[in-house]
A and B are shown apart, each in its own frame.
Chain A
Amino acid sequence: MGLPKRLVSAALIAFVGLSGTVHAEQVTLKFANWATAEGATRDGMEQVISAFEAENPDIKIESESIAFAEMARQLVLRLRSGNPPDVAQVAGNDTFALSSTGGLEPLQGYADKAFLDTLKPGAYEPLMVGEDLIAFPWNQAPAGLWYNKKLMEDAGLDPEDPPETIDELNEAMAAIREANPEVIVLGIDTTNRAFALQANWPWIRAFGADPVAAGGAESEEMQAYLGWLRDISEKGYIDPGRKIGEFRPLFAQDQVAFLWDQVLVQGVIQSTNGMSAEEFNAHYGVVPMPAGPGGKGYSFEGGHQLVMFRDSQHKEAAWKFMKYLATNEAAVKTYTIETNRSIPPAKSVGDPAVAELLDTPVIEAFSNDIIPTISPMPFGPEFAEYATVIMAGVQEAVTSDRPVADIASDIQNQIGN
């Protein structure tokens, strides 16, 4: 070979050799998430990732931005083709659908009993499948009944005494409608999506119904639930077909009286109308769901979890990252609380700055009163179909005159349990 060629090959070898050494030290984790895909959460998420990388120079995080609606699909397809990420952000039914593929790494080996005891009661238990902890709770975002104190006052109701039973709720709604014909009295998601079933499941349970249990869909309790929906729809209290997110700006402008929504509402409202925390607490409040005929109210976990994939080549590093995201107090402050407006799973925090952030009436209500009422959900491969069928029945109850018994019977036939 001539001299130039020799120089080139020498350079190539040196380069490969160098990168080889770099490779031996550094681990790259692929983190599939929608946090970096959405404008509201992107900056916070990236900040936390950078902070983690700074503390762990041997781990590099490759963030894969995937839209929320696409996440399950993408993960299943990638599992199929053999190149799943190391860690993924998941929520709702997707967590359990993924688990059923057998592609997730059980986490109880990494999160020992002592560690799990540092979490709030009810934080990780719903994520157990048999003996396996299939996912780790990251952001908790249960739903509660938000109320607008001003609108309540205008209707002659006591803003410090929100409804505690559904009957009281009905009365309050009637008062508000009479005082103010223009507002949406109760903001609730009645769309066709799987999320809508999650959101409405607590209400169904509050009436004592279980449509996926044997014969449960045509039970009296289910009919009572559907009948209640029809009633409030006929009275014009609700706005069918709107997605939950579409109520929030209206809530910020005093156009919704009661809103069944998650803990993030406070953040959204404050950024919409620029209120300070004091102003917010003076104007709005949140309580657990009013008790149904069965005597109890429920909630659902609308937050996000983290999962690790069996195929990951860097499980130790992956766990390190997951633990950091969920429990590192700086990460919790930046992302979980300030960016995502949710609640960390930890029972208590050491950093006083963080503790202060968690010491608000709203978060107290959620942590202490609401999280314990989270109801289990019929997650699984059938969930999407349940959602279609049940929400179709809900929509029919809410928009037509068809006898509730018939609607319930239809649901029963289609679910076939």
Chain B
Amino acid sequence: MPAHSKQASSRRAGGKAPFLHWMVLPTLLVLLAIIGYPVVSTVYLSFFEYNLLDFTPPEYLGLDNFAQMASDRIFWISLKNTLYYTGGTVLVSMLIGTAVALLLENLKGPVWTAVRALVVSPWAVPFVVVAFLFRFMYMQNGGIVNDILLDLGVIGNPVSWLNRADISLGAIIVANIWATTPFFFLLVSSALSGIPDAVLESARVDRAGLWSTIFHIKLPFLRNPLVVGSLLMVISNFNDFAKVWVMTQGGPGYATTTLVVYVYRMAFERFEIGYASALGLIWLLLLLLVSVFYIRLLWNRQND
């Protein structure tokens, strides 16, 4: 008797599920159209010579676009810049955000609540505003960065932060770090508050000092959130166009041209859609690689 009713109920459950699958279909179709079609189109175009200003039919090139990319000096520069921009931002933001979160962790009271709000506030600023903010701060004459550094005696003459090829990338990375640190601060703060009290108290009983507690006890709890968080930030910084464009337009020369900026200029200033698609494809593949790496990192931990 019990076996029979079990079969019956699972049949009923099986009957429900396919219907639910159909419910997802409209969303899938929309996603396919919005994401799938451009991706497929990009892959397709990447094999052609296709300039928007040229009304003759696009010419099939096979893999020539990719061969050109391999010897394209600016492509490699943009790749390098992207790595510095993304890596530099995520690493430093993560370090600073974690450090500040650990510092402010146990401090209570209205003063510290205000401090926390202040630390988080850059996150609330729209990124275009951040870009303009820093553009004005970095101006050679009249920018506040130079004013303060001159007053403090750190520099003797005003520095052209955004116009010198050697320091412009660093300057925009600093701006990006300012905007990204609050994310890691929030992430780490909430992860820290999730650590069971008993574990922390055991550490106290075990006479673990400040550094031991942070290093051996707290950091392991931060590993997974930081992995996820940094993946998110790596992807979003990889794609960061607005900040770079507003501050330097990828200049001077190509000093701050990241892959995104390069694709944009190629596609919308030079109208070379074919080559830009090839660049875009490589960009997509790079991001997929990064994601796969991260997901494996997470998966392995979970199955540990």
Judged by CB atoms under 8 Å, the answer to whether A and B touch is: yes
Known: A239-B140, A240-B163, A384-B269. A80 touches B251 (CB 8 A): no
Chain B: CB-nearest residue to A410: B253
Across the interface, do B53 and A396 meet the contact criterion of CB distance under 8 Å? no
Residues of B within 8 A of A391 (CB): 251-252
A193 at the interface (CB under 8 A from B): yes
Across the interface, do A100 and B254 meet the contact criterion of CB distance under 8 Å? no
B230 at the interface (CB under 8 A from A): no
Give Cα A239–Cα B158 distance, bound, in whole angstroms. 10
Residues of B21-73 at the interface with A, using a CB-CB cut-off of 8 Å, are 51-55
A400 at the interface (CB under 8 A from B): yes
Chain A: CB-nearest residue to B142: A239
Across the interface, do B160 and A399 meet the contact criterion of CB distance under 8 Å? yes
Known: A193-B249, A240-B160, A381-B53. A396 touches B139 (CB 8 A): no
| 8 Å CB contact of B160 from A77, A103, A241 | A241
Across the interface, do B163 and A392 meet the contact criterion of CB distance under 8 Å? no
Q: Indicate with 1 or 0, residue by residue over B90-126, a CB within 8 angstroms of chain A CB atoms.
A: 0000000000000000000000000000000000000
Residues of B within 8 A of A393 (CB): 253
Chain A: CB-nearest residue to B139: A241
Give Cα A239–Cα B249 distance, bound, in whole angstroms. 18
Band of interface residues on B: 20 to 34
Across the interface, do A192 and B250 meet the contact criterion of CB distance under 8 Å? yes
Give Cα A385–Cα B51 distance, bound, in whole angstroms. 15
Across the interface, do A381 and B51 meet the contact criterion of CB distance under 8 Å? yes
User: How many residue pairs at the A-B interface have CB separations less than 8 Å?
Assistant: 80
Band of interface residues on A: 20 to 34
A334 at the interface (CB under 8 A from B): no
- Nearest-CB distance from B89 to chain A (Å)? 22
Give Cα A384–Cα B267 distance, bound, in whole angstroms. 12
Across the interface, do B249 and A384 meet the contact criterion of CB distance under 8 Å? no
Give Cα A398–Cα B251 distance, bound, in whole angstroms. 14
Give Cα A191–Cα B165 distance, bound, in whole angstroms. 13
Known: A73-B268, A184-B141, A384-B269. A396 touches B252 (CB 8 A): yes
B166 at the interface (CB under 8 A from A): yes
A9 at the interface (CB under 8 A from B): no
Give Cα A396–Cα B271 distance, bound, in whole angstroms. 27
Give Cα A187–Cα B255 distance, bound, in whole angstroms. 24
- Nearest-CB distance from A94 to chain B (Å)? 11
Chain A: CB-nearest residue to B250: A192
Residues of B within 8 A of A98 (CB): 53
Residues of A within 8 A of B160 (CB): 240-241, 398-399
Of B164, B250, B255, chain A has the most CB atoms within 10 Å of the CB of: B164
- Nearest-CB distance from A107 to chain B (Å)? 20
Give Cα A98–Cα B54 distance, bound, in whole angstroms. 10
Give Cα A100–Cα B271 distance, bound, in whole angstroms. 12
A388 at the interface (CB under 8 A from B): yes
Across the interface, do A396 and B253 meet the contact criterion of CB distance under 8 Å? yes
Across the interface, do A241 and B52 meet the contact criterion of CB distance under 8 Å? no
Known: A101-B53, A381-B53. A399 touches B252 (CB 8 A): yes
Residues of B within 8 A of A399 (CB): 160, 163-165, 252
B265 at the interface (CB under 8 A from A): yes
Residues of B256-272 at the interface with A, using a CB-CB cut-off of 8 Å, are 265, 268-271
Give Cα A98–Cα B271 distance, bound, in whole angstroms. 11
Q: Indicate with 1 or 0, residue by residue over B148-171, a CB within 8 angstroms of chain A CB atoms.
A: 000000000000101111100000
B176 at the interface (CB under 8 A from A): no
- Nearest-CB distance from B9 to chain A (Å)? 55
- Nearest-CB distance from B252 to chain A (Å)? 4
Of B139, B163, B249, B270, chain A has the most CB atoms within 10 Å of the CB of: B163
Give Cα A80–Cα B55 distance, bound, in whole angstroms. 8
Residues of A within 8 A of B271 (CB): 76, 97, 381
Residues of A within 8 A of B82 (CB): none
Across the interface, do A384 and B265 meet the contact criterion of CB distance under 8 Å? yes
Q: Indicate with 1 or 0, residue by residue over A383-403, a CB within 8 angstroms of chain B CB atoms.
A: 011001101110110111000
B248 at the interface (CB under 8 A from A): yes
- Nearest-CB distance from A289 to chain B (Å)? 24
Residues of chain B touching chain A, judged by Cβ–Cβ distance below 8 Å, are: 51-55, 139-141, 160, 162-166, 248-255, 265, 268-271
Q: Identify 30 residue pairs between A and B in the complex whose beta-carbon atoms are under 8 Å apart, listed by A's number.
A: A76-B52, A97-B53, A97-B271, A101-B52, A101-B53, A190-B163, A191-B249, A191-B251, A192-B250, A192-B251, A192-B252, A240-B163, A241-B139, A241-B160, A242-B139, A381-B51, A381-B53, A384-B269, A385-B270, A388-B253, A388-B254, A392-B251, A392-B252, A392-B253, A393-B253, A395-B251, A395-B252, A399-B163, A399-B164, A400-B165
Residues of chain A touching chain B, judged by Cβ–Cβ distance below 8 Å, are: 73, 76-77, 80, 97-98, 100-103, 184, 190-194, 239-242, 381, 384-385, 388-389, 391-393, 395-396, 398-400
* Extra contacts besides A241-B162, A400-B166 (11): CB < 8 Å: A100-B53, A190-B163, A191-B251, A192-B249, A241-B139, A381-B53, A393-B253, A396-B165, A398-B163, A399-B252, A400-B165
